[in-house]
Chains A and B, each alone.
Chain A
Amino acid sequence: MQFAMLIYEPPDAFKSRKSDGSDSYTGAWRAYYKAMVEAGVYAGGDPLEVPDTATTIRIREGRRAVQDGPFADTKEQLGGFTILELPSLDEALEWAARCPAAALGAVEVRPLAPEMKRRVVE
């Protein structure tokens, strides 16, 4: 079964995007990634650029609205996602608790929806 970990980070965590990689947070991520891969649970994922770089589009009554910045204006912002292959939600929550972002921001765990995908992709 596949689960997505949606990783929400506070502004401080996003600062590590600009570091040379020697900071603790990046180091923790490097180790976390390795642990997931070697435990055979990692099925993909990517970090995102900082929220400032986001542009959000809506079409309403035929008119385009373009907004600088992310969809939701919250302190913690989506910073990336990881896809895990695991037998059940219990294991997914354990991995989410180990995620370096869990101690700073929040990690949302959600099952992927393969049934929906089949309906769309056919």
Chain B
Amino acid sequence: MSAIEEDRVRRAVERVARESYGRLVAYLSVHTHDLAAAEDALSDALVKALTAWPRDGLPQNPEAWLLTTARHSIIDAVRHQQVVAESEPTLQLMKDNYMETTLTTQFPDERLKLLFVCAHPAIDPNVHTPLMLQMVLGLDAARIAGAFLISPKTMGQRLVRAKTKIRDGGIRFEIPDKRDLPARLDAVLEAIYAAFGIGWDDMAGADQQGRDLAEEAIWLARVLLQLLPEEAEVRGVLALMLYCESRRAARRDSEGRYVPLSEQDPKLWSRPLMDEAEQHLADAAKHARPGRFQLEAAIQSVHAERGRTGRIEWGAIAQFYEQLNRISPSIGRHVAYAAAISEANGADKGLAILDTVDQEAVACYQPYWAVRAHLLQRLGQIPEAQHAYDRAIGLTEEPAVREFLLQKRRRSS
């Protein structure tokens, strides 16, 4: 086979793996509850595809091919464990379930169940997002570890523990009933948005991996919306991410310097993404079930309005933050509320709100110090402003933001 041909097959395998990974893992694990076995079987099948497809040509239905191959490898693995007697029912179940489906081109999409399993309340919330990234998107542990700033070994162990718990802990692969759905869905949305946030921070330095992670999160939200089209908050989270995504090109100037949102050039914002976000937000509003993500998207929609009107309605933003703080309070939202109030009603009002924050809680929270420095500077309290700038600069990870704050500090003296 020629190098070009080889490359074509490799890319076909990658494409199927990327697009079908979650569907295949979900389907392979929905009855056995054994995510690790499903993953092993699938990666086994992908390796086989790399030799079989160039030799025999691309199968007509690559997904079904992978599924059949993975199924065989699961059955082999179970046999190999020589616990045939015990696992006979499992084997039979798998055979029954697979036989009828894999031969047709369609097999049920169980990804929604998988998403709910990954964000199950019995699983450590810190592992929800990593687990989702691994099981639904097929990202490897090392890459996930980098995004979460923990060692790859530790991340690997946490993922293994979570999978063991799912397998042995009786966690059911099911879509929660109406009563439990809102709370359970919240955890899924949080996990998706966390992936986006990490991708967003990472991509600061035009880091290719980070960029992908933000895109993967949007893709996950789209999948979720397909599966749950009636849930307003799913549209909310998608709208929120699309608004942020629309500003990607405006976040840095031509020399790579950081540009804060209120100073971005709206001409650089992506109109199609903003329109799509707007549409989702409007559709969500029809359900008359406001929630955290819709409110956050609404705030971004006010910022987007500047592209049309040339001004930011800070009063509206402050109100949205106030509502947000009522339904789901956090230090971040409190700080953002203070920033909005200072724009709407004056820096002294904003500072007064910041003063009510527990100092312990913000010792390592960069946005608090950045906003505080900015407000103190506007109020002419220069030494205090410089001290706050130092705290903010020292807590900054992104070089471009650090440079931006260093510049502001220099100009304040």
Contacts and interface: CB of A to CB of B under 8 A. Distances in A.
Given A39-B363, A40-B363, A93-B150, A103 B399 contact: yes
Contact of A35 (B395, B403, B409): B395
Given A38-B363, A39-B364, A97-B149, A31 B393 contact: yes
A28 B410 CA distance: 12
Contacts of B387: 34
Contacts of A58: none
B393 A28 contact: yes
Given A27-B406, A28-B402, A34-B390, A89 B397 contact: no
B389 interface: yes
A31 B405 CA distance: 11
A98 B394 contact: yes
Interface string A29-47: 0111111101110000000
B151 interface: yes
Interface of B is mostly: helix
Nearest to A31: B393
Interface in A44-71: none
Contact of B391 (A24, A38, A90, A97): A38
Contact of B403 (A24, A32, A38, A90): A24
Interface in B114-162: 149-151, 154
Interface residues of B, number: 23
Contact of A98 (B151, B363, B390, B397): B397
A122 interface: no
Interface residues of A, number: 22
Interface in A91-116: 93-94, 97-98, 100, 102-103
Contact of A31 (B205, B363, B390): B390
Interface string A66-91: 00000000000000000000000110
A31 B149 contact: no
A33 B149 contact: no
B319 interface: no
Contacts of B395: 35, 98
B364 A94 contact: yes
B394 A32 contact: yes
Nearest to A22: B410
B149 A34 contact: no
B391 A31 contact: yes
Contacts of A39: 363-364
A27 B393 contact: yes
A116 B176 CA distance: 52
B390 A90 contact: no
Nearest to B359: A38
A32 B364 contact: no
B410 to A, nearest CB: 8
A35 B150 CA distance: 21
Contacts of A33: 394
A2 B394 CA distance: 20
Nearest to A38: B391
Contacts of B402: 24, 28, 100
Interface in B42-81: none
A103 to B, nearest CB: 4
A35 B390 contact: yes
A98 B226 CA distance: 39
A25 to B, nearest CB: 10
Interface string B377-406: 000000000010111111111010011001
Contact of A90 (B150, B205, B393, B396): B150
Given A24-B403, A100-B402, A103-B399, A35 B394 contact: yes
B391 A89 contact: no
Given A30-B390, A31-B389, A38-B363, A98 B396 contact: yes
B390 A24 contact: no
A28 B409 CA distance: 11
A31 B363 CA distance: 14
B358 to A, nearest CB: 14
A32 B393 contact: yes
Contacts of A103: 205, 399
A34 B394 contact: yes
A110 B391 CA distance: 25
A88 to B, nearest CB: 10
Contacts of A38: 363, 391
Given A24-B403, A98-B397, 7 more contacts: A28-B402, A30-B390, A35-B391, A89-B150, A93-B151, A97-B397, A98-B395
29 contacts: A24-B403, A27-B406, A27-B409, A28-B402, A30-B390, A31-B389, A31-B390, A31-B391, A31-B392, A31-B393, A32-B393, A34-B387, A35-B364, A35-B390, A35-B395, A38-B391, A39-B363, A89-B154, A90-B149, A90-B150, A93-B149, A93-B151, A94-B149, A97-B397, A98-B395, A98-B397, A100-B402, A102-B397, A103-B205
